[in-house]
Amino acid sequence: MPKEKRKILFTSHTANFNKFNRPLMRMLRGKLEAPYADLNIGGWTVDYACACEEEVYDADHVYKIDFARSPFRFDKHIKAYRQLKKLLKEENYEVIHTHTPVGSIITRMAARSLRKKGLKVIYTCHGAHFYDGAPLINWLLYYPAEKHMSRFTDLLITINQEDYSRIKKQFHCPVKMIDGVGIDTTKFNTKLPAKKKQEVRKKIGLEDDDFAIMYAAEFNSGKNHQMLLECAAPVMHYNPNIKLVFLGQGELMEKMKQLAKKLKVSKQVLFLGYVNNVHEILQCGNLCVSPSKREGLGLGVLEAIICGCPIIIANNRGHRDIVDNNKKYMFDMNDKNELAKKIHDAYNNPEKYRIEFPERYSLRSSLSEMRKIYEDLLK
């Protein structure tokens, strides 16, 4: 008689978070391919529960739970809690690995009673909403809720030092820090031949002598595109070969297009929208600038680094960890003059802002850490 598989459930309010979990899910199912196949665990049935607004990959079963992102959608929260409670009662999971703030709170509430029967609950915090300089409403809403729910958590994982230090000191569960979700270096380390790079640059609207400043991020207020546009514009006026390249889409894209017109740099700003060849486009950049107000880590910056882009980044908790708090690469997000000066300096001396990719952020390192976490938790 074949041995019964162990069962784990991943949850997140949005299916989009599946992209971070897929390597872990493949590892548990024994489906990792070279060069990561040696890290396979195997023997697990892996299920996923989320709002299912897009397709979920690498799961044995996918369940639609009506999670809501907003903490104020109490009707949705009650419905999601009941749906998840029913699922947990029927499926007999050994481990739940939950992500995203509101989704994780609903998940841990639904799993409370089952922990007495041996269910283990892991919560990965991809950047706490309560952070140094966060709005007061964030502290009032999320801090007490997260602190209380830590009582129903077997392990809380953070991905930056600031969150780790605060949560380890003030919460009620074991806390472990890992260096992010991992960058697949096999993908981003593939260097484009000169001819291919020239083709990609031309396709996105860059001339051979253009100095391309890259920023890959969703267009929302937290990503702070406005500051980059306002600080880059004066430098671009004096250097017409500077091009600002935005990768991504979002609700504020049109507003930023209008701002580019107002600043009289619209011909020098390229809005690429969603792209599926980020690793190629970033290799065509001369500089990456990230003015993001809040980052749990800063995957876009790490991707730029591994693609060979020099970097200038806002001084926030996730960015600080990447550069080991080296202020040479950082600017105060409240100081537009400092950012403008750094852009001008990088234009004249980009090598000054180049950094080696820290191997601790590689996918292999992340998977190795998570493999040990799963094994230790289930001893």
**Each residue's pLDDT tens digit, 15-28:** 989 999 999 999 99
| Dihedral (CA of 279, 281, 285, 288) sign | negative
pLDDT at 1 over 60: no
**In this predicted structure, what is the pLDDT of residue 190?**
75
End-to-end CA distance of the chain: 24
Q: What CATH superfamily classification does 6-182+362-377 receive?
A: Glycogen Phosphorylase B; (3.40.50.2000)
Q: What is the pLDDT of residues 103-122, one digit of tens each?
A: 999 999 999 999 999 999 99
- Average pLDDT value for residue range 140-155: 97
Rounded to the nearest 5 percent, the helix, strand and coil shares of the chain are: 50, 15, 35
pLDDT at 306 over 50: yes
Pairwise CA distance, residues 33 & 24, whole Å: 12
Question: What is the third-level CATH fold of 185-360?
Answer: Rossmann fold (3.40.50)
Taking alpha carbons only, the member of 307, 303, 275 closest to residue 191 is 307
**In this predicted structure, what is the pLDDT of residue 272?**
95
Burial class (CB in 10 A: 0-12, 13-18, 19+), 34: exposed
Query: How many of the other CB atoms lie within 10 Å of CB of 3?
Result: 6
pLDDT band at 3 (very low <50, low <70, confident <90, very high): low
Domain with CATH 3.40.50.2000 in the chain: 6-182+362-377, 185-360
SS3 333: coil
- Average pLDDT value for residue range 29-49: 96
pTM of the model: 0.91
